[in-house]
Amino acid sequence: MSRVTLTQYLVEQQREHGHIPGQLRLLIEVVARTCKRIAISVNKGALGDVLGSTDSQNVQGEVQKKLDVIANELLLEANEWGGHLAAMASEEMDTIHVVPNRYPQGEYLLLYDPLDGSSNIEVNVSIGTIFSVLKKTGNHAGVSEADFLQCGRQQAAAGYCVYGPQTTLVLTVGDGVAMFTLDREMGSWVLTEENVRIPEDTREFAINMSNMRHWAAPMRRYIDECLAGKTGPRGKDFNMRWVASMVADVHRILCRGGIFMYPWDQREPDKPGKLRLMYEANPMAFLVEQAGGAATNGQQRILDIQPAKLHERVSVMLGSRHEVEHVTSYHQGS
């Protein structure tokens, strides 16, 4: 069996379609390599002093787990020196990290959720890393937070790595979605799935049902109708899954379809949702759309949202296209 590695895939994509310039290729390879290092830490678990919390909080007021901090540092260090980046932003950093003067500045901006699904670390359930790549636009000197505030449709690349029974890297550079499995003996990423497609219809939803009483009416209506099953208005029985790691829930949807939702809820009415637009929703929406699915906030396409701030939150409904259109139609005009 001939094995295509990540490097070969990127080189061939560049040759055939010309949309992976050298700096972007280096960026993706550095992120992928760092995910291998994060995977090693994750796998060590209790043997590696990587479990448990730190005594610090991130900008969103969440207690940082040791692995949140480790993964953040690894990505930061690995991406500083290559000359491919102007700056980075992360869930675990209050503001952007500009590439220090001692290194050349590149034209890309990297955003990431270094460790997604932190509540699952200690219980040995799949967790992941999510990343989004933007290009600095305009030719002004320096870089500021304003350079990051671009719509998701402007992403040059996006992906995630899921640390589960297998370690899998899922990537889009705007030409479909490819999956790579980590070959631990060889230390390389091997292409194991290309042209990933999400089925348009599904009978499986993912949502934290314990929040149901706090949702808006359209969201409650949608789930009520799913729960009513075959004899209800939808005329079919639904199954439910909720890993509580967005990476793992989205990965399941890319593999076999489904719909994932994290809606607005009335406990924090001023926040549009729990998930973060720029390093959770945007990269996942890009991947899902590239696989033929849809992603909205109930009102509009996630990739069309103009961000106003780095750590902005958003409602998320993504996955199988017809199902996302269905739940979105309940929200529109409400």
Binding site residues, ligand AHG, CB under 6 A = 62, 91, 113, 116-119, 208, 244-246, 262, 274
Q: Which of 32, 38, 42, 116 touches Mn ion (CB under 5 A)? A: 116
In sign, the C-alpha dihedral spanning 116, 120, 122, 128 is: negative
Closest-by-Cβ residue to Mn ion is 116
Question: Residue 116 or residue 265: which is nearer to Mn ion going by CB?
Answer: 116
Reference 202, options 255, 152, 143; nearest CA is 255
Contact 34, 75 (CB under 8 A): yes
Measured CA distances, 238 to 206, 231, 235, 244, 269 (Å): 10, 12, 10, 19, 29
Query: Which segment (43-51, 115-123, 255-263, 287-295) binds Mn ion by CB under 5 A?
Result: 115-123
Neighbours of 259 (CB within 10 A): 28
Q: How far is the CB of 118 from ligand AHG (least distance, A)?
A: 4
Q: Which does 296 bind (CB under 5 to 8 A by kind): Mn ion, ligand AHG, none?
A: none
Task: Tell me how far apart the alpha carbons of residues 142 and 134 are, in angstroms, rounded to a whole number.
Answer: 16
Question: Residue 90 or residue 290: which is nearer to ligand AHG going by CB?
Answer: 90
Query: Which segment (90-98, 186-194, 209-217, 323-331) binds Mn ion by CB under 5 A?
Result: 90-98
Distance of CA 119 to the CA centre of its chain: 16
Neighbours of 98 (CB within 10 A): 15
Question: Residue 156 or residue 316: which is nearer to ligand AHG going by CB?
Answer: 316
Burial of residue 233, with CB atoms counted within 10 A of its CB: 0-12 exposed, 13-18 middle, 19 or more buried: exposed
Q: Is 249 in the site for Mn ion (CB under 5 A)?
A: no
Q: Which does 282 bind (CB under 5 to 8 A by kind): Mn ion, ligand AHG, none?
A: none
Q: Which does 315 bind (CB under 5 to 8 A by kind): ligand AHG, Mn ion, none?
A: none
The two tokens of residue 257 are 């379809």
Chain contacts with Mn ion (rule: CB under 5 A):
91, 113, 115-116
